[in-house]
Amino acid sequence: MSANEKATVLVVDDDAAVGKVLRAILAQAGCEAVHAESVAQALAVLRERSVDVVISDLRMPDTDGFGMLELLKQSWPDVPLIMLTAHGSVPLAVTAMRAGAADFMLKPFEREEVVATVQRTLAATAAQRGKPPGHREAGAGFSGRSTVIAELEGRIERAAQVTATVLLRGESGTGKELAAKLIHQRSARRDKPFVVVDLGAMPDNLIESELFGYEKGAFTGAVQRKPGRVALAEGGTLFLDEVGEMPPFMQVKLLRVLQEREYQPLGGTRVARADVRFIAATHRDLETMVGGGAFREDLYYRLSVVPIHLPPLRERREDVASLAARFCESFARSNGRDGLRLGVDAVVALERHNWPGNVRELQNFMERLVVLSERQEISAQDVVRELGGSLDATRRLTGQPPPSDEPPVSLETSLGAAEKTAIATAIRQARGNRTLTARILGISRRSLYNKLAEHGLEDLGVPGSR
Domains along the sequence of the chain with CATH: 3-129 (3.40.50.2300), 148-311 (3.40.50.300), 314-398 (1.10.8.60), 411-455 (1.10.10)
> Considering only 284-288, 350-354, 438-442, which range has the smallest mean pLDDT?
438-442
- Give the E-state strand segments of 13-108 in sequence order: 32-36, 53-57, 81-86, 103-107
Select, from the ranges 135-149, 163-177, 385-399, the one with the highest average predicted confidence (pLDDT): 163-177
Task: Give the alpha-carbon dihedral of 372, 378, 382, 387, to 10 degrees.
Answer: 80
In tens, the pLDDT along 231-276 reads 989 999 999 999 999 999 999 999 999 999 999 988 887 889 999 9
At 385 the pLDDT is: 87
Phi, psi torsion values for 60, nearest 5 degrees:
-140, 160
Nearest CA to 140 among 154, 158, 127, 153?
153
Report how far residue 417's alpha carbon sits from residue 456's, in angstroms, rounded to the nearest whole number: 12
Report how far residue 14's alpha carbon sits from residue 4's, in angstroms, rounded to the nearest whole number: 31
Taking residues 16-28, what's their average pLDDT? 92
Report how far residue 463's alpha carbon sits from residue 187's, in angstroms, rounded to the nearest whole number: 45
Confidence of residue 169 (pLDDT cuts 50, 70, 90): very high
DSSP state of 417: H
Report how far residue 283's alpha carbon sits from residue 281's, in angstroms, rounded to the nearest whole number: 7
Bigger pLDDT: 374 vs 132: 374
Report how far residue 424's alpha carbon sits from residue 441's, in angstroms, rounded to the nearest whole number: 11
Is the preceding peptide bond at 77 cis, omega within 30 degrees of 0? no
Taking residues 196-212, what's their average pLDDT? 89
Q: What percent of the chain has pLDDT over 70?
A: 86
In tens, the pLDDT along 375-391 reads 999 998 899 888 875 44
Cβ within 8 Å of residue 206, ≥6 positions away = 116
Report how far residue 235's alpha carbon sits from residue 191's, in angstroms, rounded to the nearest whole number: 9
In sequence order, what are the beta bridge partners of 107? 86
At 414 the pLDDT is: 60
Report how far residue 72's alpha carbon sits from residue 82's, in angstroms, rounded to the nearest whole number: 12
The answer to whether residue 11 scores a pLDDT higher than 50 is: yes
Evaluate whether 8 touches 51 at the Cβ level (below 8 Å).
yes
In tens, the pLDDT along 413-463 reads 666 777 787 788 878 777 788 887 877 777 877 888 888 888 888 776 645
Evaluate whether 366 touches 331 at the Cβ level (below 8 Å).
yes
At 89 the pLDDT is: 58
Confidence of residue 161 (pLDDT cuts 50, 70, 90): very high
Evaluate whether 286 touches 299 at the Cβ level (below 8 Å).
no
